Amino acid sequence: MSGIRVLLVDDHTILRQGIKALMEREPDIAIIGEAGDGLEAVRLARQLQPDVVVMDVQLPGLPGPQATRAIRQACPRTGVLVLTMHDSNYTVFSMLKAGARGYLLKESAGADLADAIRAIHRGQSVLHPTIARMVIEQINQADLPTADEDELSPREQEIFRLIAAGKTSREIAEKLGLSAKTIDNCRARILQKLHARNKAEAITIGVQRGLIRLSPP
């Protein structure tokens, strides 16, 4: 299929249909797939290897930042363009830190979306003016979140793998020569860094990010 190959990710079917109808007018852009949640987005990105993923932030299954990170790891040549109504500092920087190259707001995307897709495909960055001002303000305040604040340390990765293997805090503590309380505190930090609500969700995110591998049955 010729042209820029695009994967659409949004949990609203009507919005995806609207974007698809707009892009059909662009001879150099082809919609090759659609996903309604984060996990499906990662699966389709791996399968289809699109040039650009146009993605919302708040998604069922796997949140936007985790889905973006997983897509970027699995498909290094794929550019992620955020298209959302959410413009909070936390949301913006979570997506940019995860590897998104562009950030547009739905209220004003319109005809600019096609040009943004082309720019992302060329390796450029695209920011809505509101988002650009936010980034500049953060830089001027020297308050830009560090790139690795959500990354697990080597020790946390080791503990995470043991947690995923079903080890209890006491078992992990004995194995690593630490206290059970230290392991419990580390568990909480791991959930926080992965933006996971529970162990099962953390393991899902860990698999998507390549932090842990599930053994074959």
**One digit per residue, pLDDT tens: the chain, 217 residues?**
568 999 999 999 999 999 999 898 999 999 999 999 999 999 999 999 999 999 999 899 899 999 999 999 999 999 999 999 988 888 888 899 899 999 999 876 666 899 999 999 999 999 988 888 888 777 666 544 444 556 888 888 899 999 988 899 999 999 999 898 899 999 998 998 888 888 888 888 887 777 876 554 4
Task: Determine whether 145 is exposed, middle or buried from the number of CB atoms within 10 Å of its CB (0-12, 13-18, 19+).
Answer: middle
Residues 134 and 158 in one domain: no
Asked if residue 146 belongs to a domain, the reply is: no
Q: Which residues contact 122 (CB under 8 A, 6 or more apart)?
A: none
Task: Quote the domain boundaries for residue 49.
Answer: 4-140
Q: Which residues contact 13 (CB under 8 A, 6 or more apart)?
A: 36
The pTM assigned to this predicted structure is: 0.64
Q: Cα separation of 198 and 200, whole Å?
A: 6
Per-residue pLDDT reduced to its tens digit, 113-157: 999 999 999 999 999 888 888 887 776 665 444 445 568 888 888
Q: Please state the domain count of the chain.
A: 2
Residues 57 and 110 in one domain: yes
Q: Cα separation of 81 and 4, whole Å?
A: 13
